[in-house]
Amino acid sequence: MKYKYRKLGFLLSGLTLAVLAGCGGGKEESNATDSASNERMLFDFENGQVDSAVQLEHGVGEVISEGNNKKYSITLNSTDNYKAAFKFKPSEPWDWSKEGDFAFAVDIENPKDKSIFFYVTATDASGKTHNRSLSIAENSSGTYYLELAGQDLDVETGLRSNPKSWITDYTPIIWRWGVKKIDLENIASIEFKLLGVLEDKHVIIDNARIIKPEAVDENYLVGLVDEFGQNAKMDFVGKVDNLEDLIKVSAEEQSQLRKTPLDGRSKFNGWADGPKLEGTGYFSTAKVDGKWWLVDPEGYLFFSNGIANVRMANTSTMTGYDFDSSLIRQRDANDKTPEDSIGLNQVSKAAVPTRHATSELRANMFEWLPSYDDELGLHFGYRRETFMGALEKGETYSFYQANLARKYQSNDPEVFMEKWRTTTVDRMLTWGFTSFGNWVDPSYYQMDRFPYFANGWIIGDFKTLSSGNDLWSALPDVFDPVFKERALATAEQIGKEVQNNPWCVGVFVDNEKSWGMENPTSSEINVKAVYGIAINALSLDASKSPTKTVYMNILKEKYDSIEAVNASWNTSIESWDSLASGVVLEAFNEALTEDLSHLLYVYAEQYFDVVKNAVKKYLPNHMYMGARFADWGMTPEVRAAAAKHVDVMSYNYYKEGISDNFWHFLKDIDMPSVIGEFHNGSQDSGMLNPGLIHAPSQQDRGRRYKDYMYGVIDNPYFVGAHWFQYNDGPLTGRAYDGENYNVGFVSVADVPYAPLVKAAKEVNADLYKRRAKK
């Protein structure tokens, strides 16, 4: 029996590094030190050559002269390759363990008219990575530094990235993820890479060096946040200085908002001027002239362009205070909503007198917080658990919600929340969007004004498995009957909220599960990363794992004996009972990998079958949109399993744009697909972190938005894309995990970002005509 969902084979990567020969250009570990600036050169190109430690992947370079200086000009081929990079990789690892506080720095010029976004990774000899990212503006030059030792790496702030601590004109490279303190005695490489870029990029680099701080701001974490939740230490366009300004800006915007869809749109924002199919009374899908479309309830072709995460749940930040835990209502095992998706969740009046500081560091970040007696104290909340950060639980505050109360001049939730909902829908119609994305507050569901997607999460006390890289949570044991019970409970709750409403486009359930990790830049298969779920299940005792029991039945059906298993897998398992009790697999041949591929498919197929049946039981007229695959957490097996059961495939994809370098598999699946999340952001908004994709300015955010959306609109398989998210994250990080991104269409003061709005209007004005032409 053959189970083939991919071409197997363990091939050498086709993306080998092109090492540029030459021994000059800045001797490794040069002892030359500029004592005045605390800088020590590693590589320059003054002798006209390139050291062998300076390497390119999918790029070409040459030494050029600029005045009296020589620099290294590099063109990275991103058009034809998913990844392109330049890297500093010495023949022997660097030992920087005795440097004290220091950073790796390099001068980078971008001579072109488009900005560049780099992922930056420092890797030690053991393979641990320290990951950051940066944006380089068009037609610019500067020095960018990667801090590898210093006070900022010694403190957990609860922010995804911190404010700048060094007093310097150089630009810090933003923290992203990984190990903050890698082995400084054995630094193997520092890489600047492009991923998922739409065109070739050109940079000029020079003066790779070690730098040390001449001065550090000891109060860089103190007094960050003003009374409106904005950056207190920075001025920027759109900053609100006082309540009068906030009210005035709001009034001016209200006078310009429309109440109905754009001309040429149907009641449900479909293409009224385009082909009309037979309406079903609910949203559906159709393939027309070789392109997939959604179809609105009246039969008009529909493309879902919208904004996700329109809710209060992620607007609060940890304040550094807590209460007597005995006075806090704890979570119930039957809860259907994860902690980060619950509203503010205020503590009881009885708990308030027990309020006490648990993190002076966090508490000192705020210039102002109200008292609980103040009317703005209504916007305090509480998180009983967090995913990561400085605190595991504690008090929160939503500056965004407080600003809504301020601007609408009422602290009555029924007043300011209703005004927020009405204004938000008016904005969507004015900006030309066709629907919301995922994670819209259920209070929008029965407004009957704007299409939306419902959502839910399957949580509960069912058995679990691990993929080996469980980012958000462990994977459910999908053959556990409790999982099916919880899926039905989740779907039932969604059904109660939707009430069979035709404005509901479809239903997303769960999000970014860690199904398995493929490497789109390599033809090699990392078996443990891809098939971790199946490998983990095989290590468990079948008497305690329903999935393992199913796997045992599959293997016994395929193999006549345990000897046949051993012969195929090149293992020495003693008996079927030994296999049933659990085996740890470390070596993988092609036959074993093929079996793991099938077992992963069986697991995923059960997941999507269970969830689909639950959704269709309680929402029979609505489409099942899947679980929104993360690009880092899906495999061909899982996609094939999903395609068998979902109505629309869904993916979250945080890159610069859409190209066949990654999305080549859409043709093979041939199903309507939607981008569930994408975004970009900048630091010129006063925010500390641009988000997962950086732009150097608000104007560039708009350009990047258009590039991404045009790639989606022009692709025949995509039927929509959803920007994440409506409002910026809190400056000091959302309570659940510290995300403090400038990724909103509106700021914490609920003021729209004009360049991004302008770009969206331009895309949406021509959306349907462009879609039909391509």
- Give the start-end residues of each E strand in 77-200: 83-88, 102-110, 116-124, 129-136, 140-149, 171-172, 174-178, 187-195
pLDDT at residue 522, as a whole number: 76
What token pair was written down for 333?
């095992």
Q: CA–CA separation, 136 vs 141, rounded Å? A: 8
| pLDDT over 60 (residue 13) | no
pLDDT in tens, 544-598: 999 999 999 999 999 999 999 999 999 999 999 999 999 999 999 999 999 999 9
| pLDDT over 70 (residue 31) | no
What token pair was written down for 562?
């345990």
| pLDDT over 50 (residue 1) | no
pLDDT at residue 26, as a whole number: 41
Which of 220-229, 385-394, 713-722 comes out lowest in average pLDDT?
A: 385-394
Question: Which is higher by pLDDT, 368 or 334?
Answer: 368
pLDDT at residue 518, as a whole number: 86
Q: Which class for 392: exposed (0-12), middle (13-18), buried (19 or more C-beta within 10 A)?
A: middle
Average pLDDT of span 367-389: 94
* CB neighbour burial string for 211-243, b if at least 16 within 10 angstroms, e if fewer: bbbeeeeeebbeebbbbbbbbbbeeeebbbeee
User: Helices (DSSP H) in 359-500: which residue ranges?
Assistant: 360-363, 399-407, 413-431, 481-498
The band of 774, judged by pLDDT with boundaries at 50, 70 and 90, is low
pLDDT at residue 37, as a whole number: 61
pLDDT in tens, 397-432: 999 999 999 999 999 999 999 999 999 999 999 999
Which of 14-28, 333-347, 357-371 comes out lowest in average pLDDT?
A: 14-28
pLDDT, mean over the chain = 93
Which of 328-342, 436-450, 497-511, 543-557 comes out lowest in average pLDDT?
A: 328-342
Determine which helix (DSSP H) or strand (DSSP E) holds 507, and give its type and residue range. Answer: strand 504-509
Those residues with Cβ within 8 angstroms of residue 653's Cβ, 6 or more apart along the chain or in another chain: 196, 631, 662, 675, 677, 678
Average pLDDT of span 25-47: 65
Residues 189, 192, 196, CA angle at the centre, nearest 5°?
Answer: 130
pLDDT in tens, 684-722: 999 999 999 999 999 999 999 999 999 999 999 999 999
Q: Which of 171, 165, 172, 174 is nearest to 215 (CA)?
A: 165
Task: Identify the three-state secondary structure at position 690.
Answer: coil
Q: Greatest CA span in the chain, whole angstroms? A: 80
pLDDT in tens, 272-292: 999 999 999 999 999 999 999
What token pair was written down for 648?
């629309």
List of domains in the chain: 18-211 (2.60.120.430), 317-397 (no CATH)
Please give the C-alpha separations between residue 614 and each of 215, 487, 609, 626, 720, in angstroms, as whole numbers: 60, 6, 9, 12, 24
The band of 337, judged by pLDDT with boundaries at 50, 70 and 90, is confident
pLDDT in tens, 103-138: 999 999 999 999 999 999 999 999 999 999 999 999
